[in-house]
């Protein structure tokens, strides 16, 4: 079955540690995205990538980094510079404008 | 002005009611528009794309007003299962820069 996988579903980290969230898709989609969602709020764009080895900052890129070495993979690193990293992180991909989402990772920084 | 804005909600309606949501966008060059549904603590799922001529899918009707730069979603004969958050999405520059509204929460009550 084609889809997007994100792991882990729940992640706990100590303050000051970097953490990498994984996102893999087997849909052969070119564009991939990372969004952050805080309770009761909409999705805010962190980074997106239209092709391999290329990515653009979204509205809230500070404190995050990404890489796109393979078409299938778009990992997100939450660095210690991110002031308030506890949130629900959603990865998505698209081929013709319609976004497909992974199940998300809930990150809690203690 | 935010790039994509939605009615704040929440909307609390009885079963069988008709309810409408609006979403305004800032970039007049945007060409692609979508409505997504998000259930509590889940990833968003595509509800429908919004076409220039308007489109209908069962009880759901989506419309685009380019002159006033807004899209709308109409839900007729509301069901309990329609309770969710509805998110509008705009492809801002038609380059896969996909931005979300903050979402409108709908609760349908018996």
Give the residues of chain A that fall short of pLDDT 70.
Answer: 1-2
The average confidence (pLDDT) of chain B is 92
Q: Which residues of A touch B98 (CB under 8 A)?
A: 33, 45, 48, 92, 94, 97, 99
Residue A96 is encoded by which pair of tokens?
């013709």
pLDDT at B3: 87
- Which residues, other chains included, contact A11 with Cβ-Cβ below 8 Å and sequence gap of 6+? A19, A21, A105, A106, A107, A108
**What is the arithmetic mean of pLDDT over B78-82?**
98
The residue in chain B having the minimum alpha-carbon distance to the alpha carbon of residue A101 is B43
The residue count for chain A: 110
Question: Considering only CB atoms, which residues of chain B are within 8 Å of chain A?
Answer: 6, 32, 34, 36, 41-46, 49, 87, 89, 91, 95-103
Q: Which residues of B touch A41 (CB under 8 A)?
A: 102-103
Q: Which residues of A touch B36 (CB under 8 A)?
A: 99
The residue count for chain B: 110
CA distance A72 to chain B (A): 17
- Residues of chain B with pLDDT > 90: what percent? 75
């Amino acid at each position: 079955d084609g889809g997007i996988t994100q792991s882990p579903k729940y992640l706990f980290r100590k303050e000051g540690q970097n953490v990498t969230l994984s996102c893999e898709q087997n849909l052969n989609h070119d564009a991939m995205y990372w969004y952050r969602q805080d309770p009761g709020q909409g999705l805010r764009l962190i980074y997106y990538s239209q092709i391999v080895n290329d990515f653009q900052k979204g509205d809230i890129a500070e404190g995050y980094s990404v890489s796109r070495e393979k078409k299938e993979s778009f990992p997100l690193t939450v660095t210690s510079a991110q002031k308030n990293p506890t949130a629900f992180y959603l990865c998505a991909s698209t081929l013709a404008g319609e976004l497909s989402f992974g199940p998300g990772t809930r990150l809690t920084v203690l | 002005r935010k790039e994509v804005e939605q009615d704040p909600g929440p909307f609390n309606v009885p079963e069988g009611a008709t309810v409408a949501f609006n979403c305004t966008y800032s970039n007049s060059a945007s060409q692609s528009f979508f409505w997504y549904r998000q259930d509590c603590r889940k990833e968003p799922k595509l509800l429908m794309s919004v076409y220039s001529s308007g489109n209908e899918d069962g009880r759901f009707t989506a419309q685009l007003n380019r002159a006033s730069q807004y899209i709308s979603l109409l839900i007729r004969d509301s069901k309990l299962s329609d309770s969710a958050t509805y998110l509008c999405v705009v492809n801002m520059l038609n380059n896969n820069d996909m931005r979300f509204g903050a979402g409108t929460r709908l609760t349908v009550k018996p």
